[in-house]
Amino acid sequence: MEAGFGLAPLDVRTNGTGTMSWLMIVVTLAGAVLLVLLAAATGNTSLFAGRYDLLIQFNVAVAALMGALVLWQIGGVVRARIDGRFGSRLTMRFLLLFALMAMVPGALVYSVSVGFLARSIESWFDVRVDNALAEGLNLGRAVLDIMLDDLDAKAHSAAQELADLPLNDQERALSRLREQTGADEMLLIGTGGILSSVSRSGTLIMPNLPSPLVLRQARSNRHYRGIESNASGGLMLRSIYPIQRANLADEVRLLDLSLPVPSQIARSAEAVQSVNRDYRELALTRGDLRRTYIFALTLTLLLALLSAVVLAVLLSRRLSAPLATLAEATEAVARGDFSRRAAVLSGDELGTLARSFNSMTEQLDAAYRSAEENRQQEQKARAYLENILTNLSTGVIVLDARLHLRTCNAAAADILECALADYTNHALEEVPGLSSFALLVSSQFALGAPWQRQLELAEGAKVLMVRGSLVAEGDRTERLVVFDEVTTLIQAQRATAWAEVAQRLAHEIKNPLTPIQLAIERLRMKFADRLAPADAQALDRAADTIITQVNAMKSMVDEFRVYARLPRSELAPVDLNQVIEDTLSLYESVRESIVFLPGPSLPKAMGDLSQLRQVVHNLLQNAQDAMAPAGGGKITIETGVARNGVLLRISDSGSGFSEGIIQRAFEPYVTTKPRGTGLGLAIVKKIIDEHQGTVELANQAAGGAQVSIVLRRAATGEATPTGDV
């Protein structure tokens, strides 16, 4: 039996299980051997005359051990069934079926055997059997008695005949008398021993002498007759008579006649006598015999039934264990573990099933590994795509056929400034603040795809370049919307355009201004003395006006030239606090209206010293111009450390930026002042862009404008910051 098919409850892979299996097999074989010995001893008690009780005890001990093993196995199966362990129900079913197959026929055979045995023993001691044995014995005795009577009569006649003869003639007459009587041997015995002997074969060398006891009995009783055993193992008839002489002084001689009983009669008589003797012995142990046979039969049946149950347990384990192992492996496969293999423990159909299962799991494992590799590649590709979409500065939105939001990236939410992810599976127009965007998307997709449009949000504060196309996914067609914020690009394009305009102004306008100014001055000098006083005054006023406007136009052209021809920034580590202090020295007259709050331990920033002074100067000029109409007010300058650089913030208490101006304040010629070109903030924006910094405009909650600039921190000479502003 395979080591894998153990008998421990539902665990066929332990060493203890194999030991228990072999123990049950050894006990079963021992029980079979003891059953054979018990059957032999019961049929022939003389064979184990002194050890029959010991043999019974051995059989009882083996039966008890087998019963304990069977109960232990049944208990293990029941415990496994109660615990709900896998395969216990199948094992119990096999065990019950095999046990019933063994016990039902066994119980039937036992009941029939007990009745048959009782009737058979009773039939052995039937009256007719007893009478038949008695009559057979009597018949044998009668035959022997007749033969003995005949021999006895002949011996008596011969003895009388010898008594009438002289002593010397008696020995010579023996041969004749033997032939007359038909005896096998004839002996003439005196007080000193055998005087003469004759037989069928002649004179005997070793005659068959009677025993001294027989001789004494013959002398004392004057006669002896009997049936004895001869040297060959057969029966012999003997008759002894004394030879009576008239002369009492003569020696008393004995005549001994012996005749062998025919072998057939001897054997029959001996058989009848032996059977009768055995029958009488059995009759004396009649009750014990019945109990012995019934006990032996019971013990035999018990051992047979226990052996059958043991075989049932072994077979049930043999059948259920591989099925349970296969079922456990099947459950593991159902859970996704394709590495499980069923043990192939035999070459029968169960082994074929296990091999087929292993082949199936190998194919499933290969398919699963391939699918897992494909899934991992797909996940990597998806993660890569998601990473690209996450880090993509372009906004991406995917809509279904009903224009409901399916997914979007972070850039889309940042550009549109709303939590798009919270409105998944909602219509795009349901998102607050995106009504114009949703209207554009729906109207363009209604016309077809692909399409591209520019959209302004927040009254032109943010400009988007929106593109739409259709994407097929399986049997569905989804709407893909991609958009970029082009506000900075448009501002850069406008700045470039204004730079070109400024160059043309500097070239086309400033050149004629000097001849115009010289011409009007020459006219005034030539005609002032020739005109009437009133006309001369009119000429002077006109000339002054022309000269003033020419100078104003020159100043404007110079500002445009500065904007168009800003020198390349030479960046170096600078102390921003010192730059502000140097610039404030030009504002001594209004110093009391300016508050400077320098940041402690401020790190150096990367910048061009002269251009940064111009930035501070322009911002201070704008702040003063914003507060001039109301008079008074205060300007606040702050420096500090930002998360990604050095911060400069200038605030005023003026009227602030209007909503229509704040988004275009960095464009040239955009201003609310009655005088000026609007190039101050444009120059600031251009310089900060050259410094790779950022500038933001805002209105304070308490009133007034605020400009925040962040410059790159210097790589060397950096001080330890104390906090963020």
Residue 373 lies in a domain: no
CATH number of the domain encompassing residue 695: 3.30.565.10
Residue 130 lies in a domain: no
Q: What is the mean pLDDT of residues 7-33?
A: 59
Most trustworthy range by pLDDT among 327-341, 505-519, 643-657: 643-657
Residue 587: what pLDDT?
Answer: 84
pTM beyond 0.95: no
pLDDT band, residue 5 (cuts 50/70/90): very low
**Residue/partner pairs of 315-319 with CB below 8 Å, 24 or more apart:** 315/94, 315/98, 316/91, 316/94, 316/95, 316/97, 316/98, 317/5, 317/6, 317/7, 317/12, 317/21, 317/91, 318/1, 318/2, 318/5, 319/94, 319/350
What tens digit of pLDDT does each residue of 151-171 get? 888 888 888 888 778 777 777
Residue 567: what pLDDT?
Answer: 63
Whether residue 520 is found in the same domain as residue 411:
no
Whole-angstrom distance, CA of residue 596 vs CA of residue 584: 9
Whole-angstrom distance, CA of residue 220 vs CA of residue 212: 12
pLDDT at 50 over 70: no
Whether residue 182 is found in the same domain as residue 217:
yes
pLDDT above 70 coverage of the chain, percent: 73
Residue 723 lies in a domain: no
- Out of 210-214, 420-424, 508-512, pick the least confident: 508-512
Residue 366 lies in a domain: no
pLDDT at 311 over 50: yes
Whether residue 695 is found in the same domain as residue 576:
yes
DSSP code per residue over 487-506: HHHHHHHHHHHHHHHHHHHH
Residue 718: what pLDDT?
Answer: 46
- Out of 322-326, 368-372, 377-381, 633-637, pick the least confident: 322-326
What tens digit of pLDDT does each residue of 509-561 get? 666 777 887 888 888 887 777 778 887 788 888 888 888 887 777 777 766 66
Q: What is the mean pLDDT of residues 90-112?
A: 76
With residue 535 as reference, give the H or E element that holds it: helix 533-564
pLDDT at 47 over 70: no
Q: For the chain, how many structural domains are there in total?
A: 5
Whether residue 471 is found in the same domain as residue 523:
no
CATH number of the domain encompassing residue 173: 3.30.450.20
Q: Which of 564, 582, 598 is the C-terminal boundary of a domain?
A: 564
Q: Which of 511, 540, 564 is the C-terminal boundary of a domain?
A: 564
pLDDT band, residue 638 (cuts 50/70/90): very high
Is residue 58 a contact partner of residue 297, using CB atoms and an 8 Å limit? no
Whether residue 319 is found in the same domain as residue 230:
no
- Is beta strand 185-190 parallel, antiparallel or unpaired with respect to 193-199? antiparallel
Residue 56 lies in a domain: yes
pLDDT at 11 over 70: no
* Structural domain span for residue 197: 150-270
Q: Which of 423, 452, 481 is the C-terminal boundary of a domain?
A: 481
Whether residue 584 is found in the same domain as residue 683:
yes
pLDDT band, residue 711 (cuts 50/70/90): very high
Q: What is the mean pLDDT of residues 472-476?
A: 73
Residue 343: what pLDDT?
Answer: 72
Whether residue 600 is found in the same domain as residue 556:
no
Q: Mean pLDDT across the chain, nearest whole number?
A: 76
pLDDT at 660 over 70: no
Residue 582 lies in a domain: yes
Whether residue 416 is found in the same domain as residue 500:
no
Residue 386 lies in a domain: no
Residue 369 lies in a domain: no
Whether residue 203 is found in the same domain as residue 227:
yes
Query: CA-CA distances (angstroms) from residue 412 to 169, 390, 407, 451, 481?
Result: 165, 10, 10, 18, 10
The residue with greater pLDDT, 326 or 42, is: 326
pLDDT at 435 over 70: yes
Whether residue 585 is found in the same domain as residue 681:
yes
Whether residue 543 is found in the same domain as residue 593:
no
Whether residue 702 is found in the same domain as residue 582:
yes
CB count, 10 Å around CB of 272? 20
